[in-house]
Structure formats: C-alpha cells, structure tokens
Chains A and B, each alone.
Chain A
Amino acid sequence: MSDSGAAPVGIGLHAGPAESTSGAAPAASAMHAPVWSSPSGTPGEPSAPITPPARGYAARLADGEWHRLYWASPLLKGGFALVAILWFILANLRERLVDLFLPTGPVDGGGGPGSGPGPGAGDNGDIVALVYDHGQTGIALLIIAGVLVLSIAAFAVAWRMHSFRISDEAVEVRNGVLFRHNRQARLDRIQSIHITRPFFARLFGAAKIELSVAGQDAKVDLAYLGSGQVDELRREILRRASGVQAPGSPGGSTSSRDVADEATAQPGLVNRRLQELLAPELDPAEAMAESVVKITPLRLIGSLVLSEFTVFLLLVVAALIVSSSWVHHAFILVLLLPSLLGSLGFYVRRFTKSARYSIAATPDGVRIGFGLLTTSNDTLPPGRIHAIEVTQPLLWRPFGWWMIRINRAGHASSHGSASQHHTLLLPVGRQADVDKVLGLLLPGLTGAETQHLVVAGLSASHGAGFTGAPGRAIVLRPFSWRRTGYATTADAVLLRSGFFWRRLMVVPLARMQSLHVAQGPVRRMLGLAALHFITIAGPVRASLGVIDRGLAVAAFESLSAAAIVAAAADSSHRWAAATVLPARRTGRHV
C-alpha cells in the first residue's frame, strides 16, 4: 500500500479503486492524486509526509465500506488475452494499413498468404487479404474497434461491479453484472490467508489474497490488490480475527519498514518493481528471526532426486532399455525421450514451487512462503491445524531428512498452484527444522519432556516414552511392531509407526472430531485392537493399527475424555483475545 504513494504513474489509477466508496471515483482520485504524489516530487524528506497517508490507506481498505480492486485486475484476470489478440490482428494489418494510407503500388499477388506480414499470419492473413481485396477494410476496422470498445467496456463494468468490504466481523465480496453474486465470510472462521503473486501480477505490482474458511472451495478471493496492500490487509484481518480488544497499531516495525521501502524506492516505478521482484520472499521484518526455517536449494534438489518418483523413473528406464535389447529395436528408446523430458518438467515444477521456501512464526500464526517467480505465502492462524504427520522416506534416512504434512480445514480447489503446499508443510528438513516447525504448529510440543517424546517418536526404535504394541503384534506388523505406539502430552497425542518409512503423527486433542476403537477377527484372535483418531479429511490418517486390547480400552476412555477437556479449554479461534465473555464466545462457534 505504501508503494502507491511514490509513483505518479500508479497513483491516479491506484487511488481510484481504493478511494471510490460509492460512485464518485474519478473525482476522488483526481483530488487525491496531486496530494499523494507531492512527496515524490520533493525527494528531500520522503518519510515524514508519506507514512500517514500510507497508514490511512491501509485502514481505509478495511473500514467496512465498499472498495474496488486494483486497477490492473481486469488486465491480469484475462485482459492479457485480449491484448494479445489485438496485437496479433494489428501486426497482421500493419502493412495493409500502411498501404491504405500511403499507397505506393499494388500489393504483390492477389492476397495469398505469402504476402502476409511475418510469422503467424496463417489463416488470419488470408482473411485479412480477403477483406482487403474486397475493399472492406473500413468495415473490418470498425468491427475490430467495436469489439475492442465492447470488451474494454465489459471489463470496466465488471471491475466496477466487483467490490469488497471488510468490517470487524466479516469480509464480503459482491461481483457480477447480470448475475449478481454476494459472498460473506466471518473473520473468526478464517482457516488461512493465502497471498499469491503471479509473475505477471508482480510486474504490475499486484497480488491476490485468498481467505479460506472451512468447506469445499469456501474462500473469498480478492484478486487483485496492490502488492503492498495485501500484506497490510492480511495483518489487519488477522488482527481483527484474533479478537484483540484494543485497536493496536499494525506494529512499529512495519511502519518503519514501509518508510525504508519508500526511501529506497524513490527513483521511480521501474525501480520499485525491480526491487519488489528481487526482494526476499520472506520479509525479514515480518517474522521472528529465530523461528525461520528455510530450505537450501541443494537440499531441495537432493530431496527431489532421492524421491520415490526417481526410483520409479529409473525402473521405467531400465525396463525400457532391457526390453529394447531383447527386441533389438532401438525405437523403444525413442519412448525414453518424452518420458525423461516429462519427468524433467516434473522436477523443475517441484523445484520452482518449493524454491525459496520458508516457514516462520508471525504474531498471527505460521507463515509459509515459497516460489521463485510466482511467489505465494500462506498464513495459518493458531489452532487451524488438525493433524500433523512427519515422515521419512527410506532414501532420506542417510541424510536425516524429514517431511511434514498437515490436515487442515478448507480445501483449496484441487487445481491451482497452492494445492500441493496446502498440505505439504515442510517439503524437506533436518530434525532441528522439524522440531522448530512442530513447535510453531503446536506450541505445546516445545516443552522439554515433550521435546524428548518428539525425538523418540521420530527415530527411536522402541519404547522411549511411547506405549508400544505387544510382541504378538508381529503377525500384523512384522517389522514395525516395536516402533508402533502412542504417547500423550497435555494437549496432543503422538502416534509412532513405520520401520522403513518412519512416521510420527501428532493430533491436537482440541481438534479431534471423534475417536474409534475397532477390532476385527484377526485382532480379536491376537488380543489386539486398533485406535482411529478421526480429524478433518486430509493426507494424514491418524490411526494406531495395533495395540493391546486392554490398553486400547484404557486409551479410548482417557483420550475421549481428554479431547472434551481440550476442546472446552480451546480458545484458538480468537487466539489473542485475553478476556472473552464465555457466553459470547460459545455463541459463535461451528
């Protein structure tokens, strides 16, 4: 938001959407533009005059009034296709136009494609030639102009009709021209806030913010807003969702950072965009430095190379080579190339999505940022994590790498760049990173004895604080029966399993939906039972496959009681509310 103040170019249009609350958009922006751009005209003292409007701007976005989106949104949402088509037509028409207005002589040929202007003319060139030959250039130009005007008008109207407002309680979006659509989401139900900056949008200084609530595709999209605005907006939304009573300032460090940005961003729009592109994905001022977990590119590459996918790929390649040597036909090797290229693409995609990965604690939850060209970050407020799974593929064991997945409410649509990172919290990390991330996700796990439990859950082969399965479980778990076991802390249950693929699952008791104990014929013969900890659907399916029957009954009793206590004591949906009236609190739950 602060960056809008510096450049005269951005200001007129930028201020428009933010400023126009009901209808007087042009007048308002015209009034404000000179005021805001004046600091950039006097480069001597940039910080003092800019900061107040910058702050006011952020506050205004969330003032409960209707606001419009960023001026470039229609362009970023699909206007680029229009521009490309227009450019294509104009490029084809260029020579004709030159001929039309500066007749120098007859065009060679009667309008064959050869006379088309350059590459890509093709069919279009033919049509253009045809139109030209029939002397209908004027009509064609009129049609093109009409289409152009209509599409611009459509985009403009759609943009004008798309507005949002953020009050203390909810965020509301309305859009659509013919079919009006209105969506409202309560702030205290927000499960996560996802900010995406696609590469093109970054060039325009725009970003997309997505507020997910629980439910399939239940999210509020604000695409697009100013790149600086979204961070401020996220802080503001989370501050309101957190239930902080006093209207605290957005944070001293933040405003000082804005000032610093502003000072360095003086030279102009291009420089500012360049700085935004080169800036680190995670703003150092935003997170607590000691909490940051990063992944080095080397480890990321290593983790990708040593993945099950690589093993699969090598098997396929080996099979192809062997079969080609049998059949004595080299053409099978031709099959190799596409599969190799395809898998290379897979590696590159995985890499660019996980590159510059960082997990950090912010005052309003865990922030996960990633992306090389298209950067995204995801903020999970406290208490939004329903289950955690730490796994170690066999190939990673020599390196001591682990992977963390989570269950969370609010599924992103299965497509889209965020779906993988929606649940894969830590693509690869060492044990120290795992400890740190688990501490961020569940602060209750940071105590000394629980820390010991986590370490035991990751790599101990048996016992070490965990209640294990009896020896007769070897029938069902030939390798992992020693490791299989559970442990409880004050607010979570830890499940350990896996001999080759080590696995530790953590279920916060306050998030558990139900608890099952089950026994089939085999387990009955062995005197065993299975415990299932049911949470919100996700990649983590927390269950303990084998446990002694009596222990299972005891654990079922104690854990189902503990879950009730934990859920009653849980107040993480208003995580920062120090004093909440209980009646009021209970009234607004799912």
Chain B
Amino acid sequence: MSKTTDSRRLSAARFEEPGSDWQRVSPKYVAVEIAASLVTGVIFAAISVFFIVVVGWWFGWWMLGASILIALILLVVAPRRARAIGYQLRADDLLMRRGIMFFRVVAVPYGRMQLIDVNRGPLGRLLGLSDLKFVTAAATTAVSIPGLPEAVADELRDRLVALAETRRSGL
C-alpha cells in the first residue's frame, strides 16, 4: 500500500515541488494517536460490557470482540497515521495532507486565512505538542495540523499570519 509507484494511488510524492518537502509532525505525536485509539477502544468495550452485564443482550459479546478488534487495528495503524500527516508551505498556499485509507490533500491560499488556533490537549501538553488549526471563511476547510512541537507551532502560526498579511484577499 505504501509504494508510490502504484498508478491508481494518489501519491503524496506527486504533490511535491522540487526543493520542498512534506514537513512531518513530531514523532511523539504517535503517543497521542495511541492514547486516542486506546480511549476509543475502552469506551466501546465499556458500552459492550454494559450491554452484557446490565441488559443481558447476547450481541454484547460480539460488540466487545469488535471493539477490541477495532482498537487493535487503530493501534497498529496509529504510527502510520501519524506519519501520514504532513504539510508544506508553498509560495502562495499551504498544502496539507493526512490519512492512509482516506487520503486527502488540501490546498489553502494564505490569503484565505481568517484566524489560526493553537490548541494544547492534556496529553499534548505533557509531550510538549500543540495542534494548529487554520480557519478560513468556509467552515468545511478545517485544515488542522496536530502534533507540532510547541515552538514549531508558534513559529508556524506567526509565519502563516505574516504570509496571510502580505497576501490578503477578500472573502
């Protein structure tokens, strides 16, 4: 799946300009992904246990099995999901990609920026990571780059604001 020579695949390499490369998020972000997968698994397992113990439905066991399976799959792909997230500052727009199974590349012109959010979750704070969100006038744009080291996130925010300032355009 990872070989970029597959002609049917939207490969990340195709979006690369010479001289620029995809910036990756911090390797520590894998821990956040793993924690999120574990939490998801625990929640689903708890719901299943609730069904088994309290309601007594037979399919609770199936649900438990399925949630454990899903959690395992999520855990296995977590490192690759984290590695799949990338961004690129091109001359006039920000390029961002994420996803393995559901691959997606977004191009947002800097001039479309309305505001930039930098969020830190509890686990992210422990690891010194920030999430950066680039908000445009369209709600569905939702360009968010998770798992940036705090200094990088702040620097990137300032840089994006400065870039947007020079390339302002109307709505």
Contacts and interface: CB of A to CB of B under 8 A. Distances in A.
Contacts of B103: 518-520, 524
A563 B9 CA distance: 25
A527 interface: yes
A537 interface: yes
B104 A564 contact: no
B168 to A, nearest CB: 4
Contact of A383 (B136, B167, B170): B170
Contacts of B169: 510, 567-568, 570, 589-590
A515 interface: yes
A467 to B, nearest CB: 17
A521 B112 contact: no
Contacts of B7: 527, 549
Contact of B138 (A518, A529, A536, A570): A536
Contacts of A511: 171
Interface string B66-92: 000000000000000000000000001
Nearest to B141: A514
Contacts of A409: 137, 171
Contact of B170 (A526, A549, A573): A573
Contacts of B9: 519, 524, 549
A409 B139 CA distance: 12
B140 interface: yes
Interface stretch (A231-239, A240-248, A552-560): A552-560
Nearest to A384: B171
Interface residues of A, number: 42
B126 interface: no
A562 to B, nearest CB: 11
B94 to A, nearest CB: 9
Given A521-B101, A535-B138, A513 B168 contact: no
B36 interface: no
B92 A564 contact: yes
A536 B109 contact: no
Given A526-B8, A567-B111, A570-B169, A518 B141 contact: no
Interface in A479-524: 510-511, 513-521, 524
A84 interface: no
B141 A534 contact: yes
B138 A513 contact: yes
A571 to B, nearest CB: 9
B101 A520 contact: yes
B50 interface: no
Nearest to A552: B10
B171 A536 contact: yes
B32 interface: no
B106 A515 contact: yes
A563 B15 contact: no
Given A514-B106, A518-B102, A590-B114, A537 B8 contact: no
11 contacts: A386-B171, A510-B169, A513-B137, A514-B141, A515-B107, A517-B105, A524-B9, A524-B10, A524-B103, A552-B10, A556-B107
Given A409-B171, A514-B106, A589-B168, 20 more contacts: A383-B170, A513-B108, A514-B107, A516-B104, A518-B103, A519-B9, A520-B103, A521-B102, A524-B9, A527-B7, A527-B8, A537-B138, A549-B8, A549-B10, A556-B107, A568-B111, A568-B167, A568-B169, A589-B170, A590-B168
Interface of A: 191, 214, 383, 386, 409, 510-511, 513-521, 524-527, 529, 534-537, 549, 552-553, 556-557, 560-561, 563-564, 567-568, 570, 572-573, 586, 589-590
